[in-house]
Amino acid sequence: MELPVVESIDACRSAVGAARRAGRTITFVPTMGALHEGHAALVREAASVPQAFTVVSIFVNPTQFGPNEDFNRYPRTLDADCRLCWAAGADLIFLPTVETMYPSNSCTFVDVGELGNHLCGASRPGHFRGVCTVVMKLFHIVAPDAAFFGAKDAQQARILRRMVIDLDYPLDFRIVPTVREPDGLAMSSRNRYLTPEERAEAPKIHRALFEVQSRVAAGEIDVARLKSALRNALEAISNARVDYASIVDEETLQPVARIEKPALCAVAVFLGRTRLIDNLTLA
């Protein structure tokens, strides 16, 4: 039996409506495709909900890419994605086109304000406006009872959760822990861009984060000292360019001076042309 794939909004709503009438709980994992084990973990978590009918969307969203970013070369691996979703327990794939999601007269966007101006938002203007817009549209199409997001995209997860709260969307919003390679590298669709030499260096990003976490566990709470050590470790990685290395309040994403409650240590690092993000919680 093949996993059903639908492209139209009406077909998606029809399939979800039939499942709901049958007493199923609608769970949802939005993705841009190029799926890996991190995505599989999200799908398995969604499928584990009692009576789940699990929908996975695959849509490379143009409005979250800047003019000089990798929209055109972002990997499209639909056959492999379908196999992964089937193995992980999905029930339906929603595969809309750009024209379906953004008709020619479309002019409405979701703006998240200050939360989207820090960290990734500072170097990717408009990115989170695009993310929030497409995710809210997908929520209205799929009408899920629960949606699942990865902790690797920490800022995105917090922004989307805030959006759900602020716009009173009736949804169980769940964040699933980051899935890592055996050497610590956070799984990402963009890891496939790395050259063998860059891939060998990439795990040092997680090691730098872990060292900061260890310093906090040992009693260091001065953020300036922690950030200095973090940046030094990242800049020592061969062929690396640090986009940001920040320690912020875990919920507001505002900078903090001391670790007095849970904080987020988040980084973005270019290895060659590939931008990688990662984070750990400090407490």
Query: Using CA atoms, how far apart are residues 101 and 60, in angstroms rounded to an integer?
Result: 11
Query: Using CA atoms, how far apart are residues 237 and 229, in angstroms rounded to an integer?
Result: 13
SS3 at position 150: strand
Under a CB-based contact definition with an 8 Å cutoff, are residues 22 and 32 in contact?
A: no
Active site residues: 39
Whole-angstrom CA distances from 99 to 5, 14, 76, 126 are 17, 20, 17, 20
Identify the sign of the CA torsion 228, 231, 233, 238: negative
Under a CB-based contact definition with an 8 Å cutoff, are residues 176 and 157 in contact?
A: no
CA atoms within 13 A on the CB side of 38: 27
- Which tokens is 163 given? 């959006």
Under a CB-based contact definition with an 8 Å cutoff, are residues 34 and 79 in contact?
A: no
Q: How much is the CA Rg of the chain, to the nearest whole Å?
A: 19
32 φ/ψ angles, rounded to the nearest 5 degrees: -105, 15
Q: For the chain, how long is the longest CA-to-CA vector?
A: 57
Q: At what angle do helices 37-47 and 78-88 cross, to 10 degrees?
A: 40
DSSP H/E element including 81: helix 78-88
Under a CB-based contact definition with an 8 Å cutoff, are residues 277 and 267 in contact?
A: yes
